Amino acid sequence: MDGKNGAPGTGTFPVHPSLAPLTYLLGTWKGEGEGGFPTINSFKYGEQLTFTHSGKPVIAYSQKTWKLASGEPMHAESGYWRPKPDGSIDVVIAQSTGLVEVQSSSELSSTSRIMTHPKGTRTDSLGLPDEIWLSFGTSRLWKTDNWIQLETPTQESKGTYDAEKKVVRLQSELVGNASKVKEITRTFEVVNGELSYVVQMATNLVSLQPHLKAWLKKL
Ligand code: HEM
């Protein structure tokens, strides 16, 4: 199908190649979860979530939850997941409470080092510089014990996916419009065809720990 027929913006398009590592997520999932936190009573909920695509290099995500006993609606959220070829992933999520999350992949968190010496090269560290010879961008060059060290922080993702293990780990870079929440992590995993996730949060009073765990099956 070429998607040329029908209303503008509709039609069936092939999955964009950049989504290939995450196609196992596409579809509708339904299941149950448990919530808790040191400051609240624990609770159980039902949930349905969908991952869809339109042929663009992005997955649309939406989720709604309800009280298991009564079916009364609870929290809902939606957003966009943008996987990148390097195994990182950019995710934005807007929650029904007004809170917004950005899990970005542009955090500098690891460092590669190359050290040269007349006797060879090494990649471990001989310690911090006494005197930096040269700084350019986030890189620096210095000498320790007759070894010349070049240190270059490498781009490492905060949000990552592992297509083989079917695990996606998200770490908030930004939590906005929230009075209490300071940080959110989310881990999604598919094992034996079942999607499970853990959402952790840190608030102004409580350090990072689980708020939600859920198990869903594909419809
Ligand atoms: C409570 C955040 C998802 C149900 C809370 C609290 C926060 C919070 C900050 C108050 C904790 C406190 O007072 O110390 C979040 C965030 C979520 C999320 C950041 C997603 C990343 C959900 C979902 C549900 C839910 C999906 C339902 C299925 C509740 C309930 C409470 C609560 C029932 C306790 C009662 C209340 O304060 O309204 N949540 N929540 N939350 N959350 Fe969530």
pLDDT of residue 35: 97
| Position 16 pLDDT exceeds 80 | yes
Q: Where are the domains of the chain?
A: 17-106+159-218, 111-118+127-151
Residue-wise pLDDT for 89-117, tens only, equals 999 999 999 999 998 644 434 455 566 66
Round to whole Å and give the CA distance between 51 and 3.
20
In this predicted structure, the answer to whether residue 1 has a pLDDT above a threshold of 60 is: no
Under CATH, what is the fold of the domain 17-106+159-218?
A: Lipocalin (2.40.128)
Where does 40-159 show beta strands of DSSP type E?
40-52, 59-67, 73-83, 89-95, 100-103, 108-117, 120-122, 132-136, 139-144, 147-155
Tokens 């957003």 sit on residue = 79
* Structure-block tokens of residue 8: 């503008």
Band (140; pLDDT cuts 50, 70, 90)? confident
Torsion-angle region of residue 55: left (phi > 0), alpha (psi -120 to 50) or beta?
A: left
Q: Residue with the nearest Cα to atom 1 of ligand 1?
A: 40
pLDDT band at 77 (very low <50, low <70, confident <90, very high): very high
Note the ipTM here.
Answer: 0.97
Confidence of residue 24 (pLDDT cuts 50, 70, 90): very high
Q: Is 85 in contact with 161 (CB distance < 8 Å)?
A: no
What does the pLDDT read at residue 206?
94
Closest residue by CA, ligand 1 atom 29: 35
- Answer yes or no: is pLDDT of 41 > 90: yes
Lowest-confidence segment of 72-86, 125-139, 200-214 by average pLDDT: 125-139
pLDDT digits (tens, 9 = 90+) for 155-210: 443 578 888 899 999 999 899 999 999 999 999 999 999 999 999 999 999 999 99
Dihedrals phi, psi of 203, to nearest 5 degrees: -115, 180
Higher pLDDT, 139 or 203: 203
pLDDT surpassing 70 at residue 136:
no
Q: How far is the CA of 139 from the centre of ligand 1 (A)?
A: 41
Question: What's the mean per-residue pLDDT of the chain?
Answer: 85
Query: Which pLDDT belongs to residue 108?
Result: 38
**Residue 107: predicted pLDDT:** 40
CA–CA distance, 96 with 143 (Å, rounded to integer):
54
CA dist 12 → 6, 31, 78, 218 (Å): 10, 27, 21, 21
Dist. CA 166–CA 11, nearest whole Å: 28
**Among 115-124, 128-137, 139-148, 159-168, the range of highest mean pLDDT:** 159-168
pLDDT value of residue 161: 87
Ligand 1: which residues within 6 Å by Cβ? 35, 37, 39-40, 43, 45, 65, 74-75, 95, 99, 180-181, 184, 199, 201, 203, 211-212
Distance 168 CA to ligand 1 centre (A): 22
